[in-house]
Amino acid sequence: ATASLSLAWPEPWQSWPDTQAWNDMQYQVDAEVFDADIALGTSEDFLLHTKAHVKINQDGLNAHIQDAELPHKLGQTSGDLYIPWDTLALHISGSSRVNMTAVMQRFGPDQASDWQWNQAVADSTFQLLWDPGEEQPRQASAELHPQVIWDIFVHGIPLKASQGTIHWNQASGIEL
């Protein structure tokens, strides 16, 4: 990562800031992140090969993830992260292109365990609100749409899907 720091402090090498300048002082750190592996909370999962632009200031951290590989070969993602310093809650939103076989094996409901996804690919959007002191996100949701025609088998019955949405919500589960 590379970073730069700028302070709004007139003539910093000449004198200390006066009280008003000190109270008004804000800072901004900009960083570029390349090929970083970033831990996902306290789990052993990581965003892999992450490319991002990060801004840190007196209010919090803002990160724009330009590209990252999801763990467990789920797919590729991009998105935004905001962490305000007063709560440290993680506000996460973004989009992904995911492998439905991997997604459903990892997160799918039991009633879909025998579905065959045949390498179906989905475009998705997601939102999370996660307090780092809690084991699970406070709120989480995602929508998945066929990226190409899905040629799947549901309980042995062939099905082709080119449109539609799979909604997932932490509170209510999956809805087709």
CA–CA dist 112, 125 (Å, integer): 21
- Which residues on adjacent β-strands are paired with residue 67? 51
Are the beta carbons of 119 and 79 closer than 8 angstroms?
A: no
Are the beta carbons of 52 and 64 closer than 8 angstroms?
A: yes
pLDDT category of residue 24 using cuts at 50, 70 and 90: low
Write down the pTM of the prediction: 0.79
Q: What is the DSSP letter of 70?
A: P
Mean pLDDT for 30-34 is 92
- In this predicted structure, the answer to whether residue 7 has a pLDDT above a threshold of 70 is no
pLDDT at position 168, please?
A: 87
pLDDT at position 3, please?
A: 61
